[in-house]
Amino acid sequence: MKKYYSRPLIYLFAVILTSLSFLSSKPESLLPWINENFQLAAAKTKAMAQASGDSSRIPVTMKTAGQAHLANLYDWRSGFFAGNMWLLHEYTGDAQWQQEARKWTAALEPLKDFKDHHDLGFMMYCSYGAGYRLTNDARYRDILVQGARSLCTRFDQKTGTIKSWNNFKSWTTGTVYKFPVIIDNMMNLELLFFASKVTGDPYFKKVAITHANTTLENHFRDDFSAYHVVCYDEQTGKVVAKESAQGYAHESAWSRGQAWALYGYTMTYRETGDKKYLKQARGLASYLMKHPNLPADKVPYWDYHAGNPAYTPCGTNAAKYKSGVQPRDASAAAIIASALLELCDYVPKKEGAEMIAFAEASLKALSSPAYRTPMGANANFLLAHSVGSIPHGGEIDAPLIYADYYFLEALLRLKKRVS
């Protein structure tokens, strides 16, 4: 990936900018800054759509310098590009963005019958879900409900969970597990809560709550951090392994996994009002905001324990990151910021104010030249410096479409607070 500035200097710049903006962040002073981010996002999104040329070729990351890597609709990231367009429509009120968002959303319709992995919530709720929220289009509602039915086919009574992947091979033992559940799966539950609300059928919500409860029991450590992958025995329903697929080590805190957990339990509390989910989200928020290995600009390394000698790396690729400068994960920072900007409303005022200040500071860092790239750069993704998966050796220090999505969502949440 092209480097725009030398690393230590850009991070220092981000920290200075973050601290200054922090001192002066009167609510109304945030609006021009939020606006400027959306203006750039609009120009870049338009250019990306033109470069792709076809709504079946969906930009998700950059593998060749300057060129977006285009995925098909079955890729777990397929809903975010349409999602970005819906967020642009929401922010600008511009009918052209709605038209464009509708076109990219329509291309995803076959997903309503997709049953091959768990990511339907991401794929459909960020695209069709945003579309329904903003237009009330009954056809979108029906497609979402059908998608929720497909997702529920992966629910298993014995384990009390929705199966994430069809199998998972351990980096350390080579064992192939047949019922892996990843913490990311919490994000897919929003589609199920939605389906119960619009149909009146409690089944979807029951599945979501059962999954959330089982995950609460098995996926967390005493310090509130989450394991990435928990594997179940299909016959007994019991946990047989707690490992990591994308983190530094099985016992480490993979940054994006923590972000999904924070966002997922915040959303699950919103949908249920059950205080045990709030407790988990608050505990994890505190863990992430006060982590001793969090850089000053509040954009985490790809794993909170990356390179920590007390942890045994997951496989050979992760082992390459035993020492040296660790890549940041802008996507984790964006997801955490967005989650905190919701969670802050469910906690006492002082705690909420700390969450808002943290989110604002990390968004300021992300919008600085340390992470945000100019028009034409970075294949027109907004943010650079995310990590897909170091153990898999892919998308390391790269742009990711979902980093842009949650960055825009967080800015919208912030705007709603200050205007």
Positions annotated as catalytic residues are 119, 184
Which CB sits closer to ligand GLY, 42 or 403?
403
Q: Which residues contact 204 (CB under 8 A, 6 or more apart)?
A: 148, 152, 192, 193, 195, 196
Cα-Cα end-to-end distance for the chain: 37
Angle ∠(63,54,381) on CA atoms, nearest 5: 40
Strands 168-169 and 161-162: unpaired
Could you please report the per-residue DSSP string of 31-87? HHHHHHHHHHHHHHHHHHHHHH-STTSEEEEEEETTEEEEE-TTSTTTTHHHHHHHH
Total residues interacting with ligand GLY, rule: CB under 6 A = 4
Positions 74 through 103 that interact with ligand GLY (CB under 6 A): 76
CB of 181 to ligand GLY, least distance (A): 12
Amino acid at 38: F
Asked if 184 interacts with ligand GLY (CB under 6 A), we say yes
Asked if 395 interacts with ligand GLY (CB under 6 A), we say no
Among 163, 211, 256, 328, contact with ligand GLY (rule: CB under 6 A): 256
CB of 400 to ligand GLY, least distance (A): 8
List the one residue out of 312, 159, 171, 184 whose CA is nearest residue 240. Answer: 159
Q: Which residues contact 279 (CB under 8 A, 6 or more apart)?
A: none
Which CB sits closer to ligand GLY, 100 or 147?
147
Which CB sits closer to ligand GLY, 38 or 381?
381
Asked if 154 interacts with ligand GLY (CB under 6 A), we say no
CB of 154 to ligand GLY, least distance (A): 15
Which CB sits closer to ligand GLY, 76 or 91?
76
Residue whose beta carbon is closest to ligand GLY:
184
Which CB sits closer to ligand GLY, 141 or 250?
250
Q: Which residues contact 216 (CB under 8 A, 6 or more apart)?
A: 265, 276, 277, 280
φ/ψ of residue 29, rounded to 5: -70, -10
**What would you report as the CA-atom Rg of the chain, rounded to the nearest whole angstrom?**
20
CA distance 375 to 205: 42
CB of 20 to ligand GLY, least distance (A): 32
CB of 329 to ligand GLY, least distance (A): 10
CB of 60 to ligand GLY, least distance (A): 11
Which CB sits closer to ligand GLY, 76 or 194?
76
Sites of contact with ligand GLY (CB under 6 A): 76, 184, 246, 256
